[in-house]
Amino acid sequence: MKLGSLTLAWNPDKWTIPDPAQAISEQDTYSSNVIFFYGEKIVGKQIDLEWEWMSQAQFDALDALYQADLPVVWDLEEVLDPRTFAVEILSLDGELFDVALWDQPYRANVKVSLLILSVTEAVLS
């Protein structure tokens, strides 16, 4: 799995499946309620990637992408999903181990939240 220029050393332990969801909106009116169905969409979906632990080096590389505040490409590599996604990194959080100081080589309970901006479908030959 790749996020921007970073090839992740190991894939997340859990993540949100990047499948389209029904886009539905409702609005109260004076005498009733109106529901609008817009069909399925994936743009705007939030994806959470979670690791029980990861190396400090990988966390620092993810933090550099997060701090850059620029859209990046999320590539699941064709084994998992042939699509690639343009995403914005909304948040990055990870804990230090209870007995760890800042110089420890690992982070615990790391969570990255991504917002899908666009999708590139794979071209089958």
Q: What is the pLDDT along the chain (125 residues), one digit of tens a residue?
A: 999 999 998 889 999 988 888 888 899 999 999 998 888 889 999 999 999 999 889 999 999 999 999 999 999 887 677 889 999 999 999 988 766 566 668 889 999 999 999 998 765 54
The encoded tokens of residue 24 equal: 């539905």
Any domain includes 100: yes
Any domain includes 31: no
C-alpha distance from residue 82 to each of 35, 66, 75, 103, 112 (Å): 34, 24, 8, 38, 21
What residue numbers bound the domain in which 64 lies?
2-24+37-120
Any domain includes 54: yes
Query: How many domains does the chain contain in total?
Result: 1
Any domain includes 30: no
- What confidence score (pLDDT) does residue 125 get? 46
